Structure 1
């Protein structure tokens, strides 16, 4: 089990139990302060116009209490302070939050909260876009950013492996695609782009590099990625901004 999911779940359960204890205490105090016109509840139930009347009153009280407890248990999550719920969910990572949303309707509502996904976005990506408001909400914006980051990671994995078949599958087979190489050359069209990568994989020296500080920007009709590539040149590292 993922440790982040476990710690988040423990925190979440602690919050729920704390709220349950508070609600139970309030429920008990309210039941003790109900006016009975100077009579004890049990004595009031016993005073009836016959055994049948007394049994009917006890049965109604039991049903009412059971319904109240059921209603309180069902709304336990909703009665938590929103800030506490968001803080508890902030311990979960992306897969754990998605799995939580598939447990039941109440958890789905909590896990789809926009503030929870905004906090997760800032934790996993960047705080630079704190002032923006995504059109489709932070969950959709997180998913789009995650997809762009995964595509970028796959691209550099293919370069490290120097796999031309993987590069051919990676690119869209269209005439309008463009590729800019580190040398400054750029190529337009699928065939030209694939030819450039075939030449690069066959002739260029294999260079060990590491990608850091990756930042993605997702707009409604475009997206771009910035990063730093650290090249291991033997005598030291050379930083290339991209």
Structure 2
């Protein structure tokens, strides 16, 4: 018997990186899993890796029609939800003076608006005493040059989650967030990086992080699933998974 047998889980943005790590652990624990993504290559790779144990669905987190269709698919495939992980997100780096309206709308549409309406549409399917975990960011408690818009989207997401935690208390649904720092994922959270840019981004991240290394997908996954299933007396909280970055811990680490 797996650790999550009998549980129904939905992972938004689960076809690569941290979301895929969570989906893989849920499948390994015998949960019934549905995960979403938008990139066709990632969708096919996820199907090859997880099907038929998981349902892999194409859905654009910024498209309300896709979100409505997703709700119908979840109802058909799972019947309901015990655990919802809202992980889809995009980022772009630019100083304030260079941010375009297009980039601003893109990040807010996916990270904030998309997350809000995904939860709104799926909320009737979430079982009483279920749980929701958002992926926010260490930028909620730190200041990073070039990440003004991204930081704003994640701060909005955290605020939404905390209000939602209050509203869902009567149903016993817990709502929490995991805030990653520099995590070793294929894209490093920034699409379109060359291999040289990725290596430089890792170098900068290692230097900035008090533990002097990147986190792993597995370390984020453990935090997400802890909040999702084990932290039964915790709601409205954000856990930093960042090697001490957000707390500004000293170099003695």
Higher-strand-fraction structure: 2
The normalised TM-score by structure 2 is: 0.21
Larger RCO, structures 1/2 (Cα 8 Å, 6+ apart): 2
